[in-house]
Amino acid sequence: MFGPDDLTDDGFLGGRLRVWQPRRGYRAATDPVLLAAAVPARPGQTVLELGCGAGVASLCLASRVPGLHLSGLELQPAYAALARGNAARNGLSLTVVEGDLTEMPKDLRHSFDHVIANPPYYPAGGGTGAADPGRERALREETPLSLWVEAAVRRLAPRGILSLILGADRLPDALSALDARMGSTVVLPLQARPGRGAKRVILQSRKGGRAPFRLLAPFVLHEGAQHEGDRDSFTPAAAHILRDGGALSQGLC
């Protein structure tokens, strides 16, 4: 488990959400906030996050949409404990279950209106490994992406929605993992600045959906062609999400 000296106290949503994160392990940044903003959840619905880490995505979603029934599955006990503590610290309800998505714990073997995930970005065997084992496990794939998608689809209720944030290079793998049970698939490229290629995408798909596939115009995070000075330069739309906790409602499901 993490000790007090192993953690940093980080603010999200303009400081309205305070989260303990490991100083040297996996640390959430903007990706889980954008994922949470994309989820079209309504009060009273059920949400499962696969690989919830310290709980940032689920807690951002809970901050925006009251009355949700949120569950998180986390493989690493130290991160699961952090997620529980972060939920309690912010007065938000999140049930965290420790376990492996390939052997879904019994407590989570029921249907959810939404399943969300920020799967590991890097495939097994490629690139340089992280020195911290928790960060390495969070960022590098041990369980194939296809099994993340399969676990999510199994847990979705009819008409339920899957929401993923992925590296753009993993999009073909994610799309190929969606079978005939899923449809009405939408992809939103996330562009750091105008004119740059998208390095991240948000993918949504509905269980039992029948609408055609849609590729949306990119969502741009920063203004200007390059970083200038000591400021974040977020576009107004990005600032509305990252600072104000707003929804990302750019034609998604």
The dihedral region occupied by 39, where left means phi > 0, alpha psi between -120 and 50, and beta the remainder, is beta
Q: What is the DSSP letter of 109?
A: -
Going by C-alpha positions, the residue among 17, 31, 33, 51 that lies closest to residue 9 is 17
Going by C-alpha positions, the residue among 174, 199, 169 that lies closest to residue 34 is 199
For residue 252, the model assigns a pLDDT of 86
**What is the pTM (predicted TM-score) of this model?**
0.91
Which mean pLDDT values do the consecutive 10-residue runs of the chain (253 residues) have? 92 97 93 98 98 98 98 97 98 98 97 97 60 50 91 98 97 97 98 95 98 97 74 90 92 81
Integer Cα distance of 143 and 98 in angstroms: 16
**What number does CATH give the domain 4-242?**
3.40.50.150
Beta strand 156-167 with 200-207: parallel, antiparallel or unpaired? antiparallel
Listed in sequence order, the residues at least 6 apart from 65 whose beta carbon sits closer than 8 Å to its beta carbon are: 39, 41, 42, 43
Integer Cα distance of 143 and 140 in angstroms: 9
Largest CA distance in the chain: 51
| Secondary structure of residue 167 in the 3-state scheme | strand
Residue 183: both structure tokens together: 């449809």
For residue 174, the model assigns a pLDDT of 97
CB atoms within 10 A of CB 99: 15
Residue 131: both structure tokens together: 């020195």
Integer Cα distance of 57 and 29 in angstroms: 10
Amino acid at 53: G
For residue 4, the model assigns a pLDDT of 84
Domain boundaries, the chain: 4-242
Integer Cα distance of 97 and 71 in angstroms: 8
Backbone phi, then psi, for 83, in 5-degree steps? Answer: -60, -45
Going by C-alpha positions, the residue among 9, 96, 114, 1 that lies closest to residue 51 is 96
For residue 134, the model assigns a pLDDT of 47
